[in-house]
Amino acid sequence: MNVLELIEQAKEAAKYSYSPYSSFTVGAALLAKSGEVYLGCNIENAAFSPSCCAERTAFFKAVSEGEREFEAIAIVGGKDGNFEIPCPPCGVCRQVMSEFCSFDFKIYLGTDTDEYAQYSLGELLPASFVLEE
């Protein structure tokens, strides 16, 4: 699975985005070390706080099916499904990634074109909180 294929899957996931309140459509494709890909979209709620980001949807689907080790995630996001600009994961999603992924976990931010931005988790969440002495 190459990067552009993973980004394409994130765009497919974004088609299921439930975002009537923000119209901000997000899709994520999470590649586990097993080779399986787990898709997620953002799912909003009238009460706002129960909403869930696309990245966490993908992680929670994967972990709930037994996956614990991950290679990479591709993310696309934008208003009304317009992915002109790379959409970085929010702080809460970065923290969830840090629970299961090492600093070299790859984060690809796709766009409408073949251009994408690439980061590691260590770059996006340095000095992260862990429950270790």
Residue 10 touches ligand THU, criterion: CB under 6 A? no
Q: Smallest distance, Å, CB 8 to ligand THU?
A: 18
Q: Smallest distance, Å, CB 76 to ligand THU?
A: 10
Find all residues with CB under 8 Å of 64, minimum gap 6, and list them: none
Contact 76, 54 (CB under 8 A): no
C-alpha distances (whole Å) from 15 to each of 55, 81, 94 are: 14, 8, 23
C-alpha closest to that of 72 among 42, 116, 112, 14: 116
Residue 53 touches ligand THU, criterion: CB under 6 A? yes
Among 55, 72, 96, 97, binds ligand THU (CB under 6 A): 55
> Which lies closer to ligand THU via its Cβ, residue 22 or residue 118?
22
Please say if 55 is a catalytic residue.
Answer: yes
User: How far, in Å, CA of 126 to CA of 72, rounded?
Assistant: 17
Residue 11 touches ligand THU, criterion: CB under 6 A? no
Q: Smallest distance, Å, CB 5 to ligand THU?
A: 21
Give φ, ψ of 92 to 5 degrees: -65, -45
For the annotated catalytic residues, the residue numbers are: 55
Q: Where do contacts with ligand THU occur on this chain (CB under 6 A)?
A: 19, 22, 24, 26, 42, 44, 51, 53-55, 89-90, 93
